[in-house]
Amino acid sequence: MKIGFIGLGNMGAPMAANLAKAGHDVTGFDTAGVSVEGVTKAETAIDAVRGAEAVITMLPNGDILRAVADQIIPHMEKGAVFIDCSTVDVDSARAVADQAEQAGLLAVDAPVSGGIGGAAAGTLTFMAGGSDAAFAKAAPLFEIMGQKAVHCGAAGAGQAAKICNNMILGVTMIATCEAFALADKLGLDRQKMFDVVSTSSGYSWSINAYCPAPGVGPQSPADNGYKPGFAAELMLKDLRLSQQAAESADADTPMGQIATALYEQFVESEDGKGMDFSAMLPRFEKRGRS
């Protein structure tokens, strides 16, 4: 398949490389002018999409996605599929899908889970929104770039699934870090805490797979000085998207609001920028009850 790929950053570059390794003809564009092994470098976004059967974007936010869509959609082949793998607001995802469909294209919003490691290994999970026909055309590419793709519903459903999932993740990570900090102050050994909680009703991905306490549970960023596997500022971005969606849908999300405020404080007023989102644990360790 001839594929155009726009946005060759930390996530996009390995995704494009995996498509090229699988034998697809991939032409890529990034404003930073980066080169990716096996991917033909285009001078403009329009050059990247000419004649492509599929166009994939991996971009920082909804405003940039809308701007890129305005630029490339008029130059895409009728019947091609536009797959946006960015994590953006639901309204932008739906607007771009509508714009693409009006131009005779298929459209899928397909944000990912799995981080940079998953992008490199081809083990991402895709949460996809769009028509059955659009998903069917994109599915073989998801199989190359990831290990699982879930068709969540119509346009915007992929973004909705991503931000709801990550709102849960942000809230549970804060609760996990609070609990470890409390356990410390109560004199409870961290390993004993893990042994109990990881097999009891406190079980969650945040403690069982990504424990924020160094030396406890499986290897995680906590064991590497909290260098980011998933950066705190990216968690803040996703939590803000969840609250933007909640505002638009008139949904009551008090825990999501509190998590957003705490990560905002951590990233913007404390030392959280450039740290993993699980570095909330040393933050709580240093604090007393206010």
Out of 78, 137, 162, 237, pick the active-site residue: 162
Same domain, 113 and 178: no
Query: Any idea what the CATH number is for the domain that residue 111 is in?
Result: 3.40.50.720
pLDDT in tens, 264-288: 999 999 999 999 999 999 999 999 9
Same domain, 8 and 149: yes
- Please confirm, yes or no, whether 162 is among the known catalytic residues: yes
pLDDT at residue 70 is higher than 90: yes
pLDDT at residue 229 is higher than 90: no
Confidence at residue 290, expressed as pLDDT on a 0 to 100 scale: 77
Same domain, 92 and 148: yes
Same domain, 175 and 250: yes
pLDDT in tens, 187-211: 999 999 999 999 999 999 999 999 9
Confidence at residue 169, expressed as pLDDT on a 0 to 100 scale: 97
In this structure, are residues 145 and 108 in contact, taking their beta carbons and an 8 Å threshold? Answer: no
Q: pTM above 0.85? A: yes
Domain final residue pick, 133, 153, 173 = 153
Cα–Cα distance measured from residue 187 to residue 168, given in angstroms and rounded to the nearest whole number: 28
pLDDT in tens, 235-251: 999 999 999 999 999 99
Domain final residue pick, 153, 186, 205 = 153
Cα–Cα distance measured from residue 103 to residue 74, given in angstroms and rounded to the nearest whole number: 7
Assign residue 33 a region (left: φ > 0; alpha: ψ between -120 and 50; beta: otherwise). Answer: left
| Phi, psi at 178, each rounded to 5° | -60, -45
